[in-house]
Chains A and B, each alone.
Chain A
Amino acid sequence: MDTKDAIIELRGVSKSFGRQRVLVDIDLKIEPGRTTVIIGRSGCGKSVLLKHVVGLLRPDRGQVLFEGQRIDDLPERRLVDIRRQISFVFQLNALFDSMSVGENIAFPMVEKTRGRLDKAKIHRLVQRCLEIVGLAGFENKRPAELSGGEKKRVALARAIALEPPPKVILYDEPTTGLDPQRADTINKLIRHLQHEFHVTGLVVTHDMHSAAEVGDRVLMLWDGRFVADGPPAAIMESREPHVHRFVRGIADDGEVLTLESAAAPASAVTSAAGSSD
């Protein structure tokens, strides 16, 4: 893929927190209009990578580009226009507790228009977004009154509540903490948004079912680098050891303390105490 075809590009991005290297020389090109999924173990740096895309984190080395424009070196105020084209669905939803559902959804549009959009238009926009995510009539509820699945859907509604719609939606663990049916609802919504709004999706998840459902392309992050890149079916069938174990949910050797090895130190202490009597 040429650089000019990529809507998002990471070139040689590296990021460390103290001595912990999280991302190491990451190169990534995201094709517009498709959903790319990044999988990996918990704490491997998927969310860190996602935050680089919208400038919430800056790389220690490397470049981040949006539509060919470098954004990693822009000051915060110049990132505003870029951020209004990219929506972010946070893992914890990040709904504003002091606002109602309707106010949460309207917030990006109100902020973009500096409060100049008339109330009727905002109301119609909120209604439409709530209908899309199946939560019509929820506008006056507070986030604390919602279930986990409802909060996730409100977060999705907020992500699309822009005119024109965002070009990119970033999803950070969109199905974490949801039951299988609610997770499937979210997966279907992600696909629906991609087709309805021609939006580019970038999903980070460790839910393999979700990755297969929503992804046109799947990459796996391991030890700060990509170790796999391909269509979902190819990733599922990969023989690469890390990918194979992760996809099938097989723990690494040495990570699991077996019952026998857990009992061994205790029995060694008991026999040592007995021999000293």
Chain B
Amino acid sequence: MARANALEAWVGGVGAKFLQRLGDFGRFWAFAGAALSYVPVELFSRRGWRRLLPQCFAIGTQSVPVIMLTGSFVGMVLIVQGWSQFEAAGMADRLGAIVNISVAAELGPVLAGIMLAGRVGGALTAELGTMNVTEQLLALRSMGADPIRHLVTPRFLGCLLLTPLLTCYADLMGGLGAWLVFALYFRGDSGAYWEYSQQIVELWDVSTGMVKALFFGGTIGLISCYKGFHCRGGAEGVGQACTEAFVVSFIAILLLDFFLNLFLNQVYTIQWGFRSLI
């Protein structure tokens, strides 16, 4: 009897947790829908731009140095890792092209997204979480202002619009960093590096990177703001929300990357057929 009661309690607990997670999932999409509904209004109003531009500075301009650093080292490491194998196969000249296509189509957006999830996402969650626990969100509502319009939509737009631009910086620095190591450290042929890169890296590769970055940026903005709005009270609650925001954003980036790759590769194949890179 006691064992049956314990089993029932366990099943009940699992069920309750599942329902809670399902409720959170639904609440997130309602939150996201509300934030998205204000996008046209904010973009076509002067006050909307007055709220958006400071976010663009905080999210975009202040992230440039760390994003460029991330991109550079990604490119540099790929050259270091690939040089010996490509040289042994007599294809060292094409290594740059492979690195650049990897950075543009995949590693640039993904690593830039993860860096932004940590830097920007954490800051957004901490800021909005602190506003939540100090009743500033309630104060906004009590004055007839919608906190989602005032706080979430500008931050979402900032992340959405600037993550692709930041990814461009990451891609650029990835290519330059890779070239520096290729030419200066391994004494590779710079001319061949850029020539093969130009031949092999297509606009499609850069574009897929931008499309991914767009999705990553929007996701980071929404998840971080949601976690801040719904954190528990106190410093512990805000800290936990920041951690959860990063972890959930990170997982979301990985999932989105996977499914976007599947989709975009299918689109390319249908449109242009198989592409050989070697």
B143 touches A84 (CB 8 A): yes
B46 contact set on A, CB distance < 8 A? 115
B139 contact set on A, CB distance < 8 A? 88, 90, 94, 96
A96 contact set on B, CB distance < 8 A? 131, 136, 139
Report if A73 contacts B (CB, 8 A): no
B146 touches A83 (CB 8 A): no
A residues 26-83 near B (Cβ < 8 Å) are: 51, 54, 56, 76, 79-81, 83
B143 touches A90 (CB 8 A): no
Per-residue contact bits, chain B 145-174, to A (CB 8 Å; 1 contact, 0 not)? 110000000000000000000000000000
Report if A121 contacts B (CB, 8 A): no
Report if B61 contacts A (CB, 8 A): no
A residues 91-144 near B (Cβ < 8 Å) are: 91-92, 94-97, 107-108, 111-112, 114-115
Inter-chain CA distance A91–B146, complex, in Å, is 21
B144 touches A112 (CB 8 A): yes
A88 contact set on B, CB distance < 8 A? 138-139, 142
B144 touches A94 (CB 8 A): no
Report if B135 contacts A (CB, 8 A): yes
B134 contact set on A, CB distance < 8 A? 92, 94
Report if B27 contacts A (CB, 8 A): no
B47 touches A114 (CB 8 A): yes
B143 touches A83 (CB 8 A): yes
Inter-chain CA distance A107–B140, complex, in Å, is 9
A83 touches B141 (CB 8 A): yes
A to B contact number (C-beta, < 8 Å) = 50
B138 touches A56 (CB 8 A): yes
A94 touches B141 (CB 8 A): no
B47 contact set on A, CB distance < 8 A? 114-115
**CB of A273, distance to nearest CB on chain B (Å):** 35
Inter-chain CA distance A72–B49, complex, in Å, is 34
**CB of A141, distance to nearest CB on chain B (Å):** 17
B138 contact set on A, CB distance < 8 A? 51, 56, 88, 90, 94
A91 touches B135 (CB 8 A): yes
B141 contact set on A, CB distance < 8 A? 56, 76, 83
A108 touches B143 (CB 8 A): yes
Q: How many residues of A contact B (CB 8 A)?
A: 25
Inter-chain CA distance A267–B4, complex, in Å, is 43
B residues 60-90 near A (Cβ < 8 Å) are: none
Inter-chain CA distance A115–B48, complex, in Å, is 11
- Selected from A56, A95, A97, A111, the residue in CB contact (under 8 A) with B145 is A111
A92 touches B143 (CB 8 A): no
A84 contact set on B, CB distance < 8 A? 143-144
A111 touches B143 (CB 8 A): yes
Inter-chain CA distance A111–B145, complex, in Å, is 7
A83-B135 contact given A114-B47, A115-B46, A115-B47, CB 8 Å threshold: no
Inter-chain CA distance A248–B134, complex, in Å, is 31
A91 contact set on B, CB distance < 8 A? 135
- Selected from A56, A95, A114, the residue in CB contact (under 8 A) with B142 is A56
Inter-chain CA distance A96–B146, complex, in Å, is 14
A94-B136 contact given A115-B46, A115-B47, CB 8 Å threshold: yes
A76 touches B146 (CB 8 A): yes
Inter-chain CA distance A43–B146, complex, in Å, is 28
B130 contact set on A, CB distance < 8 A? 97
Inter-chain CA distance A81–B134, complex, in Å, is 24
A90 contact set on B, CB distance < 8 A? 135, 138-139
**CB of B238, distance to nearest CB on chain A (Å):** 14
Per-residue contact bits, chain A 201-238, to B (CB 8 Å; 1 contact, 0 not)? 00000000000000000000000000000000000000
Inter-chain CA distance A87–B141, complex, in Å, is 11
Kindly report which residue of chain A lies nearest to residue B150, judged by CB atoms.
A111
Inter-chain CA distance A97–B130, complex, in Å, is 10
**CB of B92, distance to nearest CB on chain A (Å):** 53
**CB of A57, distance to nearest CB on chain B (Å):** 10
**CB of A261, distance to nearest CB on chain B (Å):** 32
Inter-chain CA distance A48–B136, complex, in Å, is 16
**CB of A31, distance to nearest CB on chain B (Å):** 22
Inter-chain CA distance A54–B141, complex, in Å, is 9
**CB of B80, distance to nearest CB on chain A (Å):** 44
Kindly report which residue of chain B lies nearest to residue A88, judged by CB atoms.
B142
A94 touches B135 (CB 8 A): yes
A111 contact set on B, CB distance < 8 A? 143-145
What are the 8 tightest A-B residue pairs by CB atom distance, in nearest-first order? A94-B139, A80-B144, A88-B142, A94-B135, A83-B144, A108-B143, A90-B135, A115-B47
Q: A84-B144, A90-B138, A115-B47 are in contact. List 4 more A-B contacts (CB 8 A).
A: A83-B143, A92-B135, A96-B136, A111-B143
User: Could you write out 16 A-B pairs with CB less than 8 Å apart?
Assistant: A76-B146, A83-B142, A84-B143, A84-B144, A86-B142, A88-B142, A90-B135, A91-B135, A92-B135, A96-B136, A97-B130, A97-B131, A97-B136, A107-B143, A111-B143, A111-B144
Measuring CB to CB, which residues of chain A are less than 8 angstroms from any residue of chain B? Answer: 51, 54, 56, 76, 79-81, 83-84, 86-88, 90-92, 94-97, 107-108, 111-112, 114-115
